[in-house]
Every structure is written in structure tokens, then in C-alpha cells.
Amino acid sequence: MRVRVGQAEIVLEQGDITEMEVDALVNAANNHLWMGAGVAGAIKHKGGEVIEREAVAQGPIPVGEAVITTGGKLKARHVIHAAGMGQDLKTDEQKVREATRNSLLRAEEKKLRSLAFPAIGTGVGGLSTHLCAKVMLEETLEFLQGSESLRRVVFALFDESAYKAFQRHLSEMFSASEHP
């Protein structure tokens, strides 16, 4: 699914975020930036240990913040590490909202044109996929309306249920904006 937002587009894809051909991937990180399992583990496995070393050297950071590293051996040139949780590995709506916004800001600061997000906080963080979709899509939609560099934001959703949750929220957001 694709929708236009000004000069940019939001794209939903079901698949492996580490295979996305974008300028940067977003890693669903903890605030100490070590990369264990889930999305972080997959990025580290495919991109190499250098990504984790560069990230950890910039941490710890406040929950909700984001830092950028190289992409190692990934197709993407960069990884943006979005601290959606602390050491307790739990998250909530506000933390995911801030992590999404700060990831978009890091991409804009580097003048990146494309970015791929996972569903932040829905693994070990315990956030529902539907709440994650609502929060991340709201933040992205608002940000893209003023973005100068980003042209494509992909939500790389690992399974069909996550894809459907994001699809439902994106469809609702656009039908609501077309029929005030």
C-alpha cells in the first residue's frame, strides 16, 4: 500500500527490513543501544558488529531519542537506532511516538531521501501492533508535511498481522482526511 503525503510517500511492505533498499533502516533499540534479538539482532547479523560498536559508543541515550550509525554490510547506508525502551525492555505510546519523531529528525538532519521503519516496540516491548501503527503513522504523516528531504518512508512489517494493522490505520487516516 502507498499513499502520497505532499512530495513524499508512505509505503507499507511485508518483509525483512534488512533487505530494504533505502538510505537508512530504523533499529528498534533500547537506550543503551546494545543489539540483542528481534529487529536489532537481524540488523547486527546481516550488517555486522560494526553497527553495534558505533551505536554503543554513542550511548546510553534518553528513551525516545535516536542516533545514527553506518549501515555496515547492509544495503542501507545508515542505521538509525530509535530508543523505544529502556533497560526494562518495556515501552508505551509516548516512547514510541518520541522514538519515531527523533528517527525522522535524524534522517532529515542527514538529508536522507528514504527510510524504513519496523513496528517499534511490538516485540519484547509489548506494545500492541494496532497502537504502534496508530502512533507511528500519525507522527510520520505530520512530519512529512514539513519535510524537506524525505521522499519515501517505508514501514517494513515482518508478518501479515502487522501489515494489516498498519494498512487499516493508514486507510482510516486517509479516508478521514478526505471526508472531514
Q: What residues make up the domain containing 79? A: 2-178
* DSSP E strand stretches across 23-151: 24-30, 66-70, 78-85, 114-117
CATH number, domain with residue 35 = 3.40.220.10
- Coil, helix or strand for 6? coil
Residue 176, pLDDT score: 57
Looking at the structure of the chain, the number of domains it has is 1
- The dihedral built from the CA positions of residue 89, 93, 94 and 98, taken in this order, carries a sign that is positive
For the chain (180 residues), the mean pLDDT of every run of 10, in chain order, is 93 95 96 91 96 96 98 97 91 97 98 97 90 97 94 96 95 67
Q: For the purposes of burial, counting CB atoms within 10 Å of the CB of 138, is it exposed (0-12), middle (13-18) or buried (19 or more)?
A: middle
